[in-house]
Every structure is written in C-alpha cells, then in structure tokens.
Structure 1
Amino acid sequence: MEIIEGAGAWTRPGDDATDWNEQLRRPDLSVGTYCIPAGGKDTQSPHTEDEIYVVTAGRATITTPDRSAEVGPGAVIFVPAGEEHRFTDITEDLALLVVFGPAYGSRG
C-alpha cells in the first residue's frame, strides 16, 4: 500500500499557465495533479492513454468535439485515449486528480 501525498491538492502553477505533477508511476497507470488558475488556459493535447479526471477544487467547462459540460468539485470525467479535450471558462482555481491507464506517455 502507498499513500499518495498531495494528489489532487491545489498548488499555484509557476510561470506556466498550468501545472502537471505526476505523483505515482507504474507501468499500467499513473496518478498526478493538474492545476489551472482561474482565467487560465488549458493547452494540453490529446493523450495516447485513457484518462480519468476527478475535480477536487474549482469550476470550469470541459469541452470535447462532441460535448461540453460544466464541472466542479466531485465531478468524475472519463476521456478515452486520443480524444481531444480541454478545460475552458475556468472561473475558480481548478485542481484535478488525474489517473492515466497505462502510465502517462507510455504509449508515446
């Protein structure tokens, strides 16, 4: 067993508009925290891995080519590998617990 300290906790990004911090990495999954400040821009590209987001703080809209939805604390979002997606209209500092399967970037 392992306790993943800080996973999903808001931390103010540095000079970049967003901040990704991977807290656990195994071949079949990785866990990290993605933070975007209120009014910030989400510049991510589609990933080669399936992904689950859990909103731990903040409010925003998640947009894919087929759908948009407002999300806030407690929302759980599944994004399949390769699907374009982006958080927009970030009205409150957004903190996301992110789980990738397999591990982020492993399908390069």
Structure 2
Amino acid sequence: MHLLTGAGLPGPTAYTEHLRVPDLSVGTYVLAVGDVDGQQPHTEDEVYVVLRGRARLWTPDVTVDVGPGAVAFVPALEPHRFVDITEDLQVLVVFGPAEYSNAGAAT
C-alpha cells in the first residue's frame, strides 16, 4: 500500500505527480481563475476528480460544468481542456496506464 502524501494539494507546478507505477499514475492539476489550460491530448485514458473550484471541461463533442465532486473520464487521444475557470481549480488526475506510457505507440 502507498499513502499518497500531498495528493490533491497544490504543488510547485501546475501538475504534480504523486504516484507512478506501470499501470497508472496519479497527480494533482491546479489552475487559477483566468489560467489557460494548454494541455494536449494524452495517449492514456484519464479520470479527473474535481476537489475544489469550478470550470467547464471542453471536448469537441461536449462541454460540461464541473465542480467539487465531479468525476470525468476522458479516453486516450480525445482533445480536452478546462475552460471558463471561475474558481481556482484543484483536480486529482488518474492516468491508465501511467502518463506517457503509450506515447511511442501514438506516433
């Protein structure tokens, strides 16, 4: 077992990884009101758990409002980003498999 110290809390950068094993990675993503989320599609599936704040999660097919307690699944390679951040956002992010594990397979 691993207790993920600091998971869900702001770190030194917008994204702070807390755990990496071959099948998954876990990190905290923090965006302030007015920030631009410049992330690109990932080669791994993602689950977002919104811990605090409010924004909208955009994909080409749908945009949804998210706030504390919202859980969203984004499949690998789907373009997505947080937009219209109205309250500082703290999100727990789970990648399966670990982030960048499939990066070579996408080329």
TM-score by length of structure 1 reads 0.92
Q: Does the Cα contact within 8 Å between 1:10 and 1:94 map onto a contact in 2?
A: no
Q: Which runs of 4+ in 1 moved over 4 A?
A: none
1:10 is displaced (CA, Å) by: 3.5
Aligned position for 1:2: 2
Is 2:26 aligned against 1:31? yes
Q: Name which of 37, 49, 52 aligns with 1:57.
A: 52
- Computed over aligned residues only, the root mean square deviation of the Cα atoms, in angstroms, reads 1.1
1:12 is displaced (CA, Å) by: 7.3
Structure 1: stretches of 5+ with no match in the other structure: 14-18
What is the total number of aligned residue pairs between the two structures? 103
Structure 2: stretches of 5+ with no match in the other structure: none
CA distance in 1, matches of 2:88, 2:71: 17
Q: Does the Cα contact within 8 Å between 1:32 and 1:99 map onto a contact in 2?
A: yes
Identical residues among aligned pairs (%): 59
Q: Name which of 16, 19, 22 aligns with 1:21.
A: 16
Aligned partner letter, 1:84: P
Secondary structure of 2:54 counterpart: strand
Aligned partner letter, 1:63: W
